[in-house]
């Protein structure tokens, strides 16, 4: 499995949306997470994005595998002949560059015992999502994971969600609790540095089910609260500190159910 490893500053600079609309150019450029799929109306291979929806790239069309995840940059000319029928085609034709592939992490419904370390588990310096780059695309949640380690080590990323556990209310919003746990599977032989990686987790079925249920109960939104290990006491490996980040989602109203 290919693992994306970027320095934190590079990630922030690369994956920050930089759309450019105006000056009469009627163009847009930027970067986003994307999931390979097929356009619903025309059945051509596309990059599904959270910024401009499906993007068709002639250069990559034959290479895309449905469900694969990417970080991409794009340029769209809305006045081009290729985009004259964008509304009926169901996609924009764009000049797309794949910045890197984003591997899928493991998604588990098992309970996660946060009082004990998993084999090879280590603490993270930070974790979270980038809203401006499309944190949730086509059923996939893209999570950034920062840590100090070897740039060639191989890690295992697991997102635990016991969906039988009832949500709590935080600021009167239903909040579902998950755990992100990262374990080293193989040592590297590279350079020790501050690293940031991204992993995608396919949680679309559960998000849709909860969005519909919350909507039927009159809610407009709900949250995922994802806990991650932030420190391990060097003298006592059972003394663990956890932090968390929150990902908001819209509920599906009764009229849409």
Distant-in-sequence contacts of 42-50, Cβ < 8 A, 24+ apart: 42/89, 42/90, 42/91, 44/91, 46/91, 47/72, 47/74, 47/96, 48/137, 48/138, 49/74, 49/134, 49/137, 50/133, 50/134, 50/135, 50/136, 50/137
For the chain, what is the largest distance between any 2 Cα atoms, rounded to a whole number of angstroms?
66
Give the 3-state secondary structure of residue 210: helix
Between the two ends of the chain, the Cα-to-Cα distance in Å is: 38
- Residues 157-215 have pLDDT tens digits of 999 999 999 999 999 999 999 999 999 999 887 788 999 999 999 999 999 999 999 99
Domains of the chain: 8-102 (2.40.50), 106-250 (2.60.40)
Q: What angle do CA 244, 247, 251 make, to 5 degrees?
A: 140
Asked if the model's pLDDT at residue 8 lies above 70, the reply is no
CA-closest candidate to residue 140, choices 177, 109, 103, 182 = 103
**Looking at residue 255, what is its pLDDT?**
73
Handedness of CA 236, 238, 241, 245 (dihedral sign): positive
pLDDT band at 130 (very low <50, low <70, confident <90, very high): confident
**Looking at residue 44, what is its pLDDT?**
96
pTM assigned to the model: 0.87
């Amino acid at each position: 499995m290919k693992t994306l490893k970027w320095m934190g500053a590079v990630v922030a600079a690369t994956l920050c949306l930089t759309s450019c609309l105006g000056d009469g150019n009627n163009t847009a450029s930027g970067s986003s997470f994307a999931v390979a799929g097929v356009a619903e109306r025309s059945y051509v291979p596309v990059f599904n994005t959270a910024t401009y929806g499906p993007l068709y790239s002639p250069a990559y069309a034959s290479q895309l595998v449905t469900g694969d995840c990417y970080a991409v940059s794009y340029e769209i000319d809305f006045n081009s002949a290729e985009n004259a029928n964008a509304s009926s085609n169901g996609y924009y034709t764009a000049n797309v560059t794949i910045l890197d592939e984003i591997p899928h992490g493991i998604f588990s419904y098992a309970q996660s015992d946060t009082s004990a370390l998993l084999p090879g588990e280590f603490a993270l310096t930070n974790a979270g999502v980038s809203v401006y780059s499309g944190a949730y695309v086509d059923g996939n949640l893209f999570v950034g994971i920062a840590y100090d380690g070897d740039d060639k080590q191989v890690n295992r990323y697991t997102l635990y969600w016991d969906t039988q556990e009832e949500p709590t209310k935080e600021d009167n919003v239903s909040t579902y609790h998950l755990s992100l746990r990262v374990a080293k599977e193989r040592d590297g032989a590279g350079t020790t540095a501050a690293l940031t990686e991204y992993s995608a987790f396919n949680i679309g079925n559960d998000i849709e089910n909860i969005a519909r249920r919350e909507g039927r109960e009159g809610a407009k939104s709900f949250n995922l609260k994802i806990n991650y290990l932030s420190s391990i006491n060097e003298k006592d490996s059972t003394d663990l500190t956890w932090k968390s980040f929150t990902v908001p989602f819209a509920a599906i109203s009764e009229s849409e159910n």
